[in-house]
Structure 1
Amino acid sequence: FGAYLVQVASRFTGLEDLPAEFAVAALHTALPPTMSPGYVSHDLRVTDVTERWDDEGRLAIAVTVASRLPTHLERVCGRWRGWLRERELFGSEVRWSEPFDNDRLVALPMVQLWVPVPVESLPAPRYRAGAPDVTTAKNAVKTIVALLNQHLAPVLDALGDSAQVA
């Protein structure tokens, strides 16, 4: 993780007094495609993780999760192509991804979940030799991931088994 922080140090320029922005930069560094595999792993139904800022400058992490077609749409969209659920290469986990071709109708149901991140819960940014301090960046990522796990685990459980291939 530390080597990646050095590679993307420009992401952290000017964030010395901005713990939320520092934490977001650290989180994006910890996730693919910057790190592959990521320093942080996530449920294979997660298709996107991004930040959202409101008019008051408050941070929320937005997580987009692939979902099954709702029952009330099955009659209308039941023959449409949906999420691809394929086994990972060299693994047994199922990853949800978009179809590759545009030859059929496609319905990709998803849920976007926003988790507020209180700035007071984040560490103050620190730097060493012009790069983000590794321990501080890890703590920022750990804080955000703990919040995401706390609030999103029940939602993911309610959405059902991600390993179930339809």
Structure 2
Amino acid sequence: TPLYADTTTAPFGKKIPGKTQPRKDLFAIAVAHGIPYAATVSIYHWNDLISKIQKALTIEGPTFILSLTPCIPGWNMPVGDAVVISKLAVETGYWPLIEYENGVYKWSPANPKQLKPIEEFLSSQKRFAKLLKNPELLEKFKQDVIANYEKYKKICGVA
């Protein structure tokens, strides 16, 4: 669950601005365990998703595929928007598409050359409605997203 998301366990209110802890970097956690292959995928970029799954199936040992999977009720979004939101997650830098294979990181060509404003991703989900009305927290959220995106670009040798 991302920082400042309005959830049932961390409602966004006057005293608590939604979830106050940043989301865990599960990709980094998986890689830190010494597995031979890990990747992030998005359902919108199905060619990238399929190729990464096919690659994972050929690798001996444990592999890890981390998929952005929209939760219709939890994200409080229309049923038909899951694929579009998955696309926006990548286009805004919220969900970089990356691979790790035997010590080598790879940046997916499906990642955008130019990031769209994070507000496009956030505004598609009601769980961020209150965050969008709080300029100070929104700026921190943006900075966190960009820092994560740039971190992985650098690790992948793109930056």
Fold equivalence (TM over 0.5): no
Higher RCO (CA < 8 A, seq sep 6+): 1
Normalised to the residue count of structure 1, the TM-score between the two structures is: 0.29
Normalised to the residue count of structure 2, the TM-score between the two structures is: 0.30
* Between structures 1 and 2, the one with greater helix share: 2
* Between structures 1 and 2, the one with greater strand share: 1
Q: For the pair shown, which has the larger CA radius of gyration, 1 or 2? A: 1
